[in-house]
Amino acid sequence: MMTMIRRTVARLGALATGVFVLASPALAKSGWGELNMPQGVTAISRRIYALHMEIFEICVAIAVVVFGVMIWSIFRYRKSKGAVADTTLVHSTRVEVIWTAIPVVILVAMAVPAARTLVAIEDTTNTQLSIKVTGFQWGWEYDYLDGGVSFISRLDRKSNRARELMSGIDPTTVDHYLLNVDNPLVVPAGTKVRLLLTGADVIHSWWMPEFGVKKDAIPGFINEAWFNVDPDKLGVYRGQCSELCGRDHGFMPIVVDVRSKEDFAAWLKQKAAEQKQAAAPPAPQTPATAAVAAPTPAG
Ligand SMILES: [Cu+2]
């Protein structure tokens, strides 16, 4: 009996190890990894990924043990083999204490790292750059609060044309179909960027999987989120609105262009100058040009 239990436990252990290997990042490129969430390019996104794997592994281990014992018991103690029900476990205080205590210990073991990660996600202290993000039907407005720059980001023209009914354009010929915008959000790497999110009409949600950020943009409320992209992870990252917000919910992607601090500073300066010039009132007319431009009085 004991050797049989030991052998079964060993077999279940081997099965559990197999499942863990299947879920390991080493297989991320094999296609199976596509089913999993990305590890991302920020310390927080990696922490969320690690937590997700930890909890997943605990769940798999519990499932393997519980279903293993159950299936083994059903098979081993079947009626056709002359098994007689053991009624001594009914209302056994010892068993009830054990099967209450074990789940409590497991839940506490899972709650501690989860709570720590949540606190880190919500910690918006010491941010170096603040951007207001306003979701609207259907696009995003980005407002660099200290940079004097703001612009609207919408689905790029190519995707927009291809998505129209009977456009005759094959979506597979469009680069990043439905995941590209006209004006991406530009941010510096290695900088703690704070987002202040709100909605202009209905609830939207700003989701950037690679940053581990997903936050609702709600009219009348300001939600906070932050990210700090690794200095060596420059590049373009894509996300989507993830709160069903109406007809064109699927057509308001998010694109973030992560640049080096120097490139970002240069971009912000240039953009601010452009916007200042565009907003400036027309140059006042000199008396000479005014005289020429003035209409000749009638009569
Ligand atoms: Cu939306």
Encode pLDDT of 225-270 as tens digits.
Answer: 999 999 999 999 999 999 999 999 999 999 999 999 999 999 999 9
Mean pLDDT for the chain overall: 87
Q: Could you tell me if residue 290 is inside a domain?
A: no
Is the same domain home to 213 and 261? Answer: yes
Residue 209, pLDDT score: 95
Is the same domain home to 173 and 106? Answer: no
Is the same domain home to 33 and 133? Answer: no
More confident: 7 or 269:
269
Q: What is the mean pLDDT of residues 67-85?
A: 92
Residue 215, pLDDT score: 97
d(CA 197, CA 206): 8
Instruction: Tell me if the bond preceding 226 is cis, omega within 30° of 0.
Output: no
What is the whole-number distance in angstroms between the Cα of residue 207 and the centre of ligand 1? 10
Q: What is the mean pLDDT of residues 156-160?
A: 93
Q: Could you tell me if residue 284 is inside a domain?
A: no
Give the gyration radius of the chain's Cα atoms: 29
Residue 152's CATH number: 2.60.40.420
What is the whole-number distance in angstroms between the Cα of residue 158 and the centre of ligand 1? 20
Q: What percent of the chain is modeled with pLDDT above 70? A: 84
Is the same domain home to 159 and 247? Answer: yes
- How sure is the predictor about 58, in pLDDT bands with cuts at 50, 70 and 90? very high
Q: What is the mean pLDDT of residues 266-290?
A: 80
Asked which of 122, 147, 180 is the last residue of a domain, the reply is 122
Is the same domain home to 105 and 174? Answer: no
Q: Could you tell me if residue 294 is inside a domain?
A: no
What is the whole-number distance in angstroms between the Cα of residue 134 and the centre of ligand 1? 10
Residue 34, pLDDT score: 81
What is the whole-number distance in angstroms between the Cα of residue 138 and the centre of ligand 1? 6
What is the whole-number distance in angstroms between the Cα of residue 249 and the centre of ligand 1? 5
Q: What is the mean pLDDT of residues 197-221?
A: 97
What is the whole-number distance in angstroms between the Cα of residue 109 and the centre of ligand 1? 36
End-to-end CA distance of the chain: 120
Q: Could you tell me if residue 139 is inside a domain?
A: yes
What is the whole-number distance in angstroms between the Cα of residue 199 and the centre of ligand 1? 9
More confident: 205 or 298:
205
Q: What is the mean pLDDT of residues 30-57?
A: 91
- How sure is the predictor about 84, in pLDDT bands with cuts at 50, 70 and 90? confident
d(CA 110, CA 161): 48
Q: Which of 29-38, 131-140, 189-198, 203-212 has the lowest mean pLDDT?
A: 29-38
Is the same domain home to 88 and 110? Answer: yes
Query: How many structural domains are present in the chain?
Result: 2
Residue 50, pLDDT score: 96
Q: Could you tell me if residue 274 is inside a domain?
A: yes
Q: What is the mean pLDDT of residues 49-78?
A: 95
Is the same domain home to 152 and 247? Answer: yes
Q: Is residue 154 a contact partner of residue 190, using CB atoms and an 8 Å limit? A: no
Q: Could you tell me if residue 87 is inside a domain?
A: yes
What is the whole-number distance in angstroms between the Cα of residue 124 and the centre of ligand 1? 24
d(CA 51, CA 64): 20
What is the whole-number distance in angstroms between the Cα of residue 227 and the centre of ligand 1? 21
Q: Could you tell me if residue 31 is inside a domain?
A: yes
Q: What percent of the chain is modeled with pLDDT above 90? A: 71
Is the same domain home to 113 and 221? Answer: no
Residue 251, pLDDT score: 95
Q: Which domain holds residue 7?
A: 2-122
- Cα 81 to its chain centre, rounded Å, is 54
Encode pLDDT of 13-36 as tens digits.
Answer: 444 444 444 445 455 566 777 889
Q: Inform me whether the pLDDT recorded for 280 exceeds 70.
A: yes
Strand ranges inside 125-252, DSSP E: 129-136, 139-144, 149-153, 185-188, 193-199, 204-208, 213-217, 223-227, 235-241
Residue 147, pLDDT score: 87
Provide φ and ψ at 104, rounded to 5°.
-60, -45
Is the same domain home to 43 and 100? Answer: yes
What is the whole-number distance in angstroms between the Cα of residue 174 and the centre of ligand 1? 22
Is the same domain home to 222 and 105? Answer: no
Q: Which of 83-92, 130-139, 279-288 has the lowest mean pLDDT?
A: 279-288
Q: Inform me whether the pLDDT recorded for 272 exceeds 80.
A: yes
Is the same domain home to 117 and 135? Answer: no
More confident: 124 or 283:
124
Q: What is the mean pLDDT of residues 3-11?
A: 49
Is the same domain home to 98 and 145? Answer: no
Q: Could you tell me if residue 186 is inside a domain?
A: yes
Asked which of 104, 122, 140 is the last residue of a domain, the reply is 122
Q: Which of 8-12, 94-98, 176-180 has the lowest mean pLDDT?
A: 8-12
What is the whole-number distance in angstroms between the Cα of residue 132 and the centre of ligand 1? 16
pTM across the whole model: 0.78
What is the whole-number distance in angstroms between the Cα of residue 209 and the centre of ligand 1? 16
